[in-house]
C-alpha cells in the first residue's frame, strides 16, 4: 500500500514565542504527509538544532488524500536556531499558527512537550529510562507517534490520539491481553483521559504483504480472543464504543440526513450536477437512501449467520499486524469498538491481492466455525460488504468533525468515497460475494 514518490515541504519555524519565517521549499523522501522523519532530518540539518513537527498547516487541494505535492508544516525548534534572526509574524500567518478549537494536544508546543515528559516519567518508573531524544515518526490529525530508545537496549513508543473520538487503547490492549497476552504489545503506561499510551517496542516488521504462514499466525488468534470475550460477556461490559449493527444503521441514517441537508443548501441544488469527490449527486443520495432502507433486512440476515457481537479491532488490515518471524502481534487499537466481527474479517481484502484474500477469508471463516459451530461466517463476509463501507463513511465523518480545518484534506473525500463503494456493492452484487471497490 506504500507509494514511493516524494513531496516538497515548506516550514513555518518557531521557537518559544519567536517566529523565524517560512523556510523552504525542501524536497524530502517519502510522500506521506503524516510521515515526519524526512522533514525533521532536512530541517534539522539546515538549522543545526533539533526540531519537532507540530502539524500540517497547508496541503494541496487536489484530492491528494495525504500523499505527495507541496505541503507546509508548523515546526518548533527545540533549541534556538543560531544565525537565524526572528521576524515579525504576518497577520495571516499569526492566524494560521494561532490557537484553534479542534487542535490536537500533540500539535501544540506545550502539548507535545508535556506528552514527551509524561512518557519519560513512565519509562523511568518502569526502570527503563529513555536514552537521548525521541524520534518523531508520525504527526497528523489522528495521532502523534514517537519512538524512544531505552537504557536496557530496547525501545518504547508513545502514541497520542484524540480521546473524543477514539478508543481507550490501553484498556483495549489490556482486555485482549487478558485472553492472549502474546497477541498485543506490552503496555508500559496509559493515560486514557488524554488519549496517551506508552508501549514496549515490538520486534519485526509490519506485514503489509503477509505470507500464508503469517496469516495463519494472526487471524485465528484474534478470532479466538474475540470469541472468548463474547462468550464470557467481558466485551459487552467493557464500556467500548457501540458499533453494533443496529447502532451503525442509526449512524448511517444520521449521516445521510446530514448530506441531504447539505446538498439542499448548496448552490445549484436541483439543477444539472457533475459528480465530485466531495459531494454526492442527488441520484447518489437517493440510491444511498434506498440502500439504507434495506439495512434492517440485511441486519436480520447477518444476525442469522450466528456470529456474536464482540470487541472489534476496527482497522484490521495487515499493516497493523507485526512479526519478527516467531511472534506475531496486532497493533493500533484506536478504532476499536463493540460490534460485529465480520467488519474486521472483511478489512484485509482492501490490502492484499485477490488470491491472498481468498486465503485470509478461508482462514477467518474456519476459525469462526471452530469457535461457533453451526455459524455461517462465509455468508457474513458476503452480506456485510455494503454496511462495511457505510460504517467507514460514518467513521471518516467522525474524523472530519473533530479535526481543525487545515487537517481536513487528509479525509475530506473519504465519507463520499465510502458511500459510493457501498452503492457499488449493491450495483455489482457485492452483498452476494462480488468485490465492491477498495477502502483507504
Give me the residue spans of the domains in the chain. Answer: 7-98, 107-200, 205-267+275-432
- What 100-104 contacts at long range (C-beta under 8 Å, 24+ apart), as own/partner pairs, is 100/404, 100/405, 101/404, 102/402, 102/403, 102/404, 103/55, 103/404, 104/55, 104/141, 104/144, 104/160, 104/162, 104/403
Q: What is the CATH number of domain 107-200?
A: 3.30.200.20
Q: What is the pLDDT of residue 273?
A: 62
- Residue of 72 and 59 predicted with greater confidence: 72
Q: What is the mean pLDDT of residues 13-39?
A: 94
Average pLDDT, the chain: 93
For the segment 191-199, the average pLDDT, to the nearest whole number, is: 97
Q: Where does 205-267+275-432 sit in CATH, by number?
A: 3.90.1200.10
pLDDT value at residue 377: 98
* Distance, CA of 316 to CA of 226 (rounded, Å): 13
Residue 4: pLDDT above 70? no
Residue 60 is predicted with a pLDDT of 83
pLDDT tens for 62-81 read 766 788 899 999 999 999 99
pLDDT at 383: 97
Superfamily of chain region 7-98: Nucleoside Triphosphate Pyrophosphohydrolase (3.90.79.10)
pLDDT in tens, 77-117: 999 998 889 999 999 999 999 999 999 999 999 999 999 99
In this predicted model, what pLDDT tens digit does every residue of 409-440 receive, in sequence order? Answer: 889 999 999 999 999 998 765 544 444 544 44
Amino acid at each position: 500500500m506504500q507509494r514511493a514518490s516524494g513531496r516538497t515541504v515548506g516550514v513555518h519555524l518557531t521557537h518559544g514565542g519567536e517566529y523565524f519565517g517560512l523556510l523552504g521549499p525542501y524536497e524530502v523522501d517519502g510522500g506521506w504527509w503524516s510521515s515526519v522523519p524526512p522533514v525533521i532530518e532536512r530541517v534539522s540539518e539546515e538549522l543545526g538544532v533539533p526540531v519537532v513537527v507540530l502539524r500540517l498547516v497547508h496541503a494541496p487541494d487536489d484530492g491528494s488524500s495525504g500523499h505527495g505535492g507541496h505541503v507546509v508544516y508548523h515546526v518548533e525548534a527545540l533549541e534556538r536556531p543560531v544565525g537565524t534572526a526572528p521576524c515579525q509574524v504576518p497577520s495571516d500567518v499569526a492566524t494560521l499558527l494561532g490557537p484553534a478549537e479542534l487542535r490536537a494536544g500533540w500539535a501544540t508546543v506545550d502539548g507535545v512537550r508535556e506528552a514527551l515528559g509524561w512518557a519519560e516519567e513512565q519509562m523511568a518508573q518502569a526502570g527503563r529510562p529513555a536514552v537521548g531524544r525521541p524520534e518523531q515518526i508520525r504527526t497528523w490529525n489522528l495521532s502523534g507517534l514517537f519512538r524512544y530508545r531505552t537504557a536496557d537496549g530496547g525501545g518504547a513508543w508513545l502514541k497520542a490520539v484524540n480521546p473524543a473520538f477514539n478508543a481507550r487503547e490501553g484498556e483495549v490492549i489490556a482486555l485482549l491481553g487478558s485472553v492472549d497476552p502474546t497477541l498485543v504489545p506490552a503496555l508500559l503506561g496509559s493515560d486514557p483521559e488524554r488519549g496517551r499510551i506508552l508501549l514496549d517496542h515490538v520486534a519485526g516488521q509490519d506485514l503489509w504483504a503477509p505470507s500464508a504462514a503469517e496469516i495463519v499466525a494472526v487471524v485465528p488468534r484474534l478470532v479466538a480472543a474475540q470469541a472468548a470475550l463474547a462468550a464470557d460477556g467481558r466485551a459487552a461490559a467493557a464500556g467500548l464504543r457501540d458499533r453494533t449493527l443496529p447502532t451503525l444503521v442509526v449512524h448511517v441514517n444520521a449521516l445521510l440526513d446530514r448530506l441531504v441537508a447539505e446538498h439542499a443548501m448548496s448552490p445549484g441544488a436541483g439543477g444539472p450536477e457533475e459528480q465530485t469527490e466531495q459531494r454526492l449527486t442527488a441520484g447518489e443520495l437517493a440510491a444511498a437512501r434506498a440502500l439504507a432502507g434495506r439495512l434492517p433486512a440485511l441486519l436480520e440476515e447477518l444476525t442469522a449467520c450466528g456470529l456474536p457481537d464482540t470487541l472489534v479491532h476496527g482497522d484490521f488490515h495487515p499493516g497493523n499486524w507485526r512479526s519478527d518471524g516467531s511472534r506475531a502481534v496486532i497493533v493500533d487499537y484506536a478504532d476499536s469498538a463493540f460490534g460485529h466481527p465480520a467488519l474486521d474479517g472483511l478489512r484485509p481484502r482492501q490490502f492484499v491481492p485477490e488470491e491472498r484474500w481468498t486465503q485470509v477469508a478461508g482462514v477467518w471463516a474456519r476459525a469462526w466455525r471452530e469457535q461457533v459451530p453451526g455459524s455461517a461466517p462465509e455468508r457474513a463476509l458476503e452480506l456485510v460488504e455494503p454496511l462495511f463501507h457505510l460504517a467507514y463513511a460514518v467513521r471518516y465523518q467522525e474524523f472530519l468533525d473533530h479535526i481543525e480545518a487545515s487537517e481536513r484534506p487528509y479525509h475530506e473525500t473519504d465519507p463520499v468515497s465510502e458511500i459510493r463503494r457501498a452503492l457499488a456493492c449493491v450495483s455489482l452484487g457485492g452483498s452476494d460475494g462480488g468485490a465492491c471497490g477498495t477502502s483507504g
